[in-house]
């Protein structure tokens, strides 16, 4: 029997049905008709069976044709035809027990027409069987078997169909859920694809932005380099003419006798004006250089214990002539118990002089007052004046670089606009603050604060050491011991002081002491232990040798090694005794001449500027009339005159037209005859502007370093080295 399950669309109500096709039943009818015709084909029974066979075949053909037109009508026709066939077989052909075959139309009606039609057909067949029994056509047993078989088949079909119905309903419900889940997955997949597309687009945008940022970073780096080159060039271009102006004015004012006669007083006054303005221009150049070094984080602070009261008095002495000239009174308010401040005295003095100079310039006939106060944490300095004051809109920008106010006397201010900005940054480098309070028509007050060394905090009470029988004795005189906490100490083994100064600048919470050799380090460690030892050597090989000896002496002491060249290391390594920064004064040259032993008789001045050669010649002969000065304008001429004149001292400019000063030094060092001649370099570029840097960092201890500490170093050191590139 061919069973099919019809399924509806997911949106329709689903009713499971088991069906047998009408055509299959008609084929069965045709087979029954053919079988009856064959069985009854003998001449005796042909006239009785043949009509029956033809009738059954006609029913089969009719059912087949009706199925093409109306399948439901064909099903009813076939079911009724089967009843007719069963009755013919039992009554007409007298087939014993044939009435039991009524089970077939009942069962097929259930399959073809459904449960209700099947039950109705079973009831009708039962009635037919009972009627035939009442008429005596069939026996009671045959009737009972027929009725029992029909209802048993119906009940079995109903029970089976119910289980199948529940199973199919369960399957259909889960199919619907799976279909809904599939639709959701498809929708989510579409959203996921859209999200992936968006992420890919964002990734492309991010990659493009990264390329643009990389290009912008390269442009910024190039701009920074261009700015540094510009500052260096400006420094060189400004210092060269300033060297001439300041040098000649100093020479005219201090040693006028070199010109053969005394200069008129009015001319000396004019020369003093020229000298003063030249010094002012030089201070502006130095301000620009200081600002560039601060921005590049290259300016070093040299901290020490400073008497702030003495610093204030010396700063007031600097501006005292300007105060007297403008008839401005000066007042100083210093507390008697002012503590020492750990700071760079030169930079703090520069801040004080700048604030006092500004107050003096902007005050006409009033007063300037310096007030100093302190507490347990900081000392505060206030420079107050009775000038015109600063409007709020200008006070908001007063600490910006190159900003110059336009109110009152500030319009005629000849400053560079960098003094307050640099002063504020100096104070911030000391971890302090600078601020302003001003009222128009009343005056201005500039404040800055510097932190004091914090007091040690007691971690636990001292009563744990006291006994009940001890008696307290009050002190009769104050203690001379300091309240400062114990500060860590690191010993630096270096022949040059630059490394110690740099460490002291960046970290004021550790004491950095310096020795020049490992033998001195042993002596210093015996006097006062240190937490670690830093060794600076000229070469990696020498560094490893010194570190190995140090680890043998102190097995449990961390030793850090580096190869940092001194700031004047290039000049010293090239064969020079030192380097002078332009503008070079009369006193600078005298100090160099007096440094040479024996006193030189011939000096070679090498400079491409004729005015500079003339100036240096006059400076040298002003105090040493017997000194012979030979000049050269190029590197080749300088080497030639070293051979011909055998000078006792060479003053060599770095910037020369044919070959620079470094090449001249290299040629001089290679020659055994010229090598001993003392040489000083002259340059307009400050060697201190270059930052300290090392290509090697070595860390070691005499004891073996455990693996977990090695892992920690491997984790931290790459991060530190990568950050050093930023």
Tell me the mean pLDDT per 10 residues along the chain, length 726: 41 51 70 64 54 69 74 75 71 62 70 72 78 73 75 72 72 85 88 88 87 84 70 65 76 73 75 73 68 60 82 86 84 89 85 88 87 90 90 84 58 60 86 90 91 55 50 59 66 83 70 88 88 87 89 88 71 74 79 85 89 84 85 90 89 84 85 87 64 77 77 80 58
168 & 41 share domain: yes
Instruction: List all residues 6 or more positions away from 620 whose beta carbon is below 8 Å from its beta carbon.
Output: 589, 593, 603, 605, 627, 629
Q: Output the pLDDT for position 4.
A: 40
Spatial separation of the C-alpha atoms in residues 37 and 55, rounded to whole Å: 11
At what angle are helices 22-39 and 71-87 packed, to 10 degrees?
30
Evaluate whether residue 527 is within a structural domain.
no
Does residue 579 lie in a domain region?
yes
Rounded to an integer, what distance in angstroms lies between the CA atom of residue 260 and that of residue 219? 58
Final residue before a domain boundary, out of 451, 474, 501: 451
Single residue among 404, 435, 451 that ends a domain in this structure = 451
Alpha carbons 292 and 231: distance in angstroms, whole number: 8
Mark which of 172, 190, 222 sits at the end of a domain: 172
638 domain residue, yes or no: yes
CA neighbours closer than 13 Å in the CB half-sphere of residue 363: 29
Q: Strand order of the sheet with strand 511-515? A: 511-515, 489-493, 532-536, 559-562, 697-700
Please report whether residue 709 resides in a domain.
no
Give the per-residue pLDDT at 337.
86
Contacts of 340 (CB under 8 A, 6+ apart): 305, 306, 307, 308
Label residue 266 left, alpha or beta by phi (over 0 means left) and psi (-120 to 50 means alpha): alpha
336 and 299 Cβ atoms separated by less than 8 Å = no
Domain that residue 592 falls in:
569-689
Q: How far apart are CA 400 and CA 588, in angstroms?
A: 35
Please check whether residue 371 lies inside any domain of the structure.
yes
Regarding whether 574 and 441 lie in a shared domain, the answer is: no
**CATH assignment of the domain containing 443:** 3.30.565.10
Predicted local distance difference test score (pLDDT) of residue 409: 42
Query: Peptide bond preceding 598: is omega within 30 degrees of 0, i.e. cis?
Result: yes
Instruction: Count other C-beta atoms under 10 Å from residue 461's C-beta.
Output: 8
491 phi, psi to nearest 5 deg: -100, 130
435 with 576, same domain: the answer is no
The answer to whether residue 444 is domain-embedded is yes
User: Do the domain assignments include residue 663?
Assistant: yes
Tell the residue number behind the tokens 């009813």, with chain if given.
76
Residue in the structure block whose two tokens are 């921005």: 295
Is residue 320 one of the residues assigned to a domain?
A: yes
Domain count, the chain: 3
Q: Are residues 14 and 162 in the same domain?
A: yes
In the chain, what is the greatest distance between 2 CA atoms, to the nearest angstrom? Answer: 179
- The pLDDT, as a whole number, for residue 262 is 73
């Amino acid at each position: 029997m061919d069973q099919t399950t019809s399924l509806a669309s997911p949106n329709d109500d689903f009713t499971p049905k088991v069906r047998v096709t009408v055509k299959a039943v008609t084929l069965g009818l045709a087979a029954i008709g053919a079988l009856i015709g064959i069985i009854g084909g003998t001449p005796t029974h042909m006239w009785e069976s043949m009509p029956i066979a033809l009738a059954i075949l006609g029913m089969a053909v009719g059912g087949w044709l009706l199925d093409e037109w109306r399948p439901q009508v064909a099903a009813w026709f076939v079911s009724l035809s089967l009843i007719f066939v069963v009755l013919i077989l039992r009554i007409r052909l007298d087939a014993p027990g044939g009435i039991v075959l009524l089970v077939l139309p009942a069962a097929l009606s259930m399959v073809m027409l459904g449960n209700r039609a099947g039950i109705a057909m079973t009831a009708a067949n039962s009635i037919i069987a009972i009627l035939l029994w009442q008429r005596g056509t069939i026996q009671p047993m045959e009737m009972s078997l027929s009725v029992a078989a029909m209802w048993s088949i119906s009940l079995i079909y109903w029970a089976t169909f119910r289980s199948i119905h529940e199973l199919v309903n369960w399957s259909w419900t889960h199919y619907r859920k799976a279909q809904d889940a599939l639709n959701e997955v498809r929708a989510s997949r579409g959203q996921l694809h859209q999200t992936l597309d968006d992420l890919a687009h964002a990734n492309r945008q991010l990659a493009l932005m990264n390329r643009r940022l990389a290009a912008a970073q390269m442009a910024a780096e190039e701009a920074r380099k261009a700015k540094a080159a510009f500052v260096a060039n400006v420094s060189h271009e400004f210092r060269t003419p300033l060297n001439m102006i300041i040098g000649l004015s100093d020479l005219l004012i201090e040693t006028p006798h070199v010109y053969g006669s005394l200069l008129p007083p009015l001319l000396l006054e004019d020369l003093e004006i020229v000298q003063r303005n030249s010094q002012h221009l030089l201070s502006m150049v130095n301000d620009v250089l200081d600002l560039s070094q601060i921005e590049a984080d290259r300016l070093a602070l040299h901290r020490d214990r400073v008497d702030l009261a003495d610093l204030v008095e010396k700063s007031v002495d600097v501006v005292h002539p300007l105060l007297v000239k403008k008839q401005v009174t000066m007042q100083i308010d210093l507390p008697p118990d002012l503590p020492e401040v750990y700071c760079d005295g030169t930079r703090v003095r520069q801040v004080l002089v700048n604030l006092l100079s500004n107050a003096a310039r902007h005050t006409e006939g009033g007063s300037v007052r310096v007030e100093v106060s302190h507490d347990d944490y900081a000392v505060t300095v206030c420079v107050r004046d009775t000038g015109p004051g600063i409007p709020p809109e200008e006070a908001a920008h007063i600490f910006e670089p190159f900003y110059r106010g336009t109110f009152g006397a500030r319009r005629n201010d000849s400053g560079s606009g960098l003094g307050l900005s640099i002063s504020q940054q100096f104070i911030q480098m000391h971890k302090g603050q600078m601020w302003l309070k001003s009222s128009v028509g009343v005056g201005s007050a500039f404040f800055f604060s510097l932190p004091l060394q914090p007091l040690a905090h007691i971690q636990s009470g001292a009563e744990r050491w006291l006994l009940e029988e001890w008696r307290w004795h009050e002190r009769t005189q104050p203690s001379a011991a300091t309240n400062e906490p114990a500060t860590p100490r690191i010993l630096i083994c270096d022949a040059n002081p630059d490394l110690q100064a740099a460490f002291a600048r960046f970290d004021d919470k550790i004491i950095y002491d310096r020795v020049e050799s490992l033998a001195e380090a042993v002596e210093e460690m015996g006097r006062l232990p240190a937490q670690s030892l830093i060794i600076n050597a000229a070469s990696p090989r020498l560094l490893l040798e010194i570190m190995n000896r140090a680890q043998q002496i102190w097995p449990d002491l961390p030793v850090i090694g580096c190869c940092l060249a001194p700031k004047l290391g290039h000049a010293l390594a090239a064969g020079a005794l030192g380097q002078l920064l332009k503008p070079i004064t009369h006193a600078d040259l005298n100090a160099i001449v007096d440094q040479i032993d024996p006193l030189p008789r011939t000096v070679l001045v090498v400079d491409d500027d004729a005015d500079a050669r003339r100036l240096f010649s006059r400076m040298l002969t002003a105090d040493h009339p017997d000194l012979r000065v030979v000049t050269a304008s190029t590197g080749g001429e300088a080497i030639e005159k070293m051979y011909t004149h055998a000078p006792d001292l060479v003053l060599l400019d770095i910037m020369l037209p044919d070959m620079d000063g470094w090449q001249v030094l290299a040629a001089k060092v290679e020659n055994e005859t010229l090598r001993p001649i003392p040489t000083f370099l002259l340059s307009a570029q400050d060697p201190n502007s270059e930052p300290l840097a090392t290509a090697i960092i070595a860390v070691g201890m005499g004891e073996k370093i455990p693996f977990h500490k090695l892992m920690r170093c491997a984790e931290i050191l790459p991060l530190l080295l990568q950050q050093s590139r930023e």
